[in-house]
Amino acid sequence: GDSVTQMEGPVTLSEEAFLTINCTYTATGYPSLFWYVQYPGEGLQLLLKATKADDKGSNKGFEATYRKETTSFHLEKGSVQVSDSAVYFCALSITGTASKLTFGTGTRLQVML
Amino acid sequence: EADIYQTPRYLVIGTGKKITLECSQTMGHDKMYWYQQDPGMELHLIHYSYGVNSTEKGDLSSESTVSRIRTEHFPLTLESARPSHTSQYLCASSELVRGYGYTFGSGTRLTVV
């Protein structure tokens, strides 16, 4: 079945450090890929997405590139801020009448001053 | 502004009580979902709906029930709450379009004492 594997956290960084959160997937079809962010006490918000191979999704300084050859969608940011502290979820969906998002287990990021 | 609303945000209730968690969306989405999120952050799909009068059980077995009488409304009911039901419940909706993703509500944090 479809699955998403993301690196375990927590990830603790100093402000302005470079961030990478790894995400790999297995899928029976041709998935769309997503990163969601969950701030404390809130629901999930769509951060970025990519729908085909080699597409790069970007938002708020975060980027991720859809790599079909390595089945990966790693999240990166060049300089993190304290306000980026949150839980990040990688997800995939296969379009169809039963298309549901399959989520990874989430990675908690804590950014320190 | 198109959005998805969950009420209440927080609920503390005694064992054996009946509760209904409300979820409404103003985007006209056909597909709606309920997730249970455990303290370890992992998301578990417990119910989903493709449209009015359509409901399906998700990947995680749940004692809760749902109904979909109107497109915009997808309430979740627990007939007799137990401490094991203590969790965060997240509602989401989506379009059946490749790469659309989900829009999430802010969640209901339920505590059963």
Chain A residues within 8 A of B94 when measuring between CB atoms: 101
Name the band, by pLDDT with cuts 50, 70 and 90, for residue A4: very high
* Average pLDDT along chain A: 93
Closest-CA residue in chain A for B94? A100
pLDDT score, position B41: 87
Helix ranges (H only) for chain A are none
CA distance A38 to chain B (A): 10
Chain B residues within 8 A of A99 when measuring between CB atoms: 96
Q: Residue B88: which H helix or E strand, with range?
A: strand B87-94
pLDDT score, position B111: 96
A22-36 pLDDT, tens digit each: 999 999 888 999 999
Residues of B contacting chain A (CB within 8 angstroms): 6, 33, 40-43, 45, 48, 50, 90, 92, 94, 96-99, 101-107, 109
The residue among B110, B45, B61, B101 whose CA lies nearest residue B82 is B110
Closest-CA residue in chain B for A103? B43
Residue A99 has pLDDT above 80, yes or no: no
Over residues A96-111, mean pLDDT: 84
The verdict on a CB contact (< 8 Å) between A106 and B43 is yes
| Both structure tokens of A47 | 């951060």
B48-106 pLDDT, tens digit each: 999 999 999 998 888 999 999 999 999 999 999 999 999 999 999 998 776 778 999 99
Residue A39 has pLDDT above 60, yes or no: yes
pLDDT score, position A41: 85
Q: Which of A44-48, A85-89, A101-105, B39-43 has the lowest mean pLDDT?
A: B39-43
Residue A95 has pLDDT above 70, yes or no: no
Over residues B8-30, mean pLDDT: 96
Q: Name B3's Cβ contacts closer than 8 Å, sequence gap at least 6.
A: B25, B26, B27, B103
Over residues A62-79, mean pLDDT: 97
Chain B residues within 8 A of A93 when measuring between CB atoms: 99, 101
Residue A98 has pLDDT above 60, yes or no: no
pLDDT score, position B1: 57
Handedness of CA A47, B96, A7, A26 (dihedral sign): negative
The verdict on a CB contact (< 8 Å) between A43 and B33 is no
pLDDT score, position A100: 78
Residue A69 has pLDDT above 70, yes or no: yes
Over residues B10-19, mean pLDDT: 97
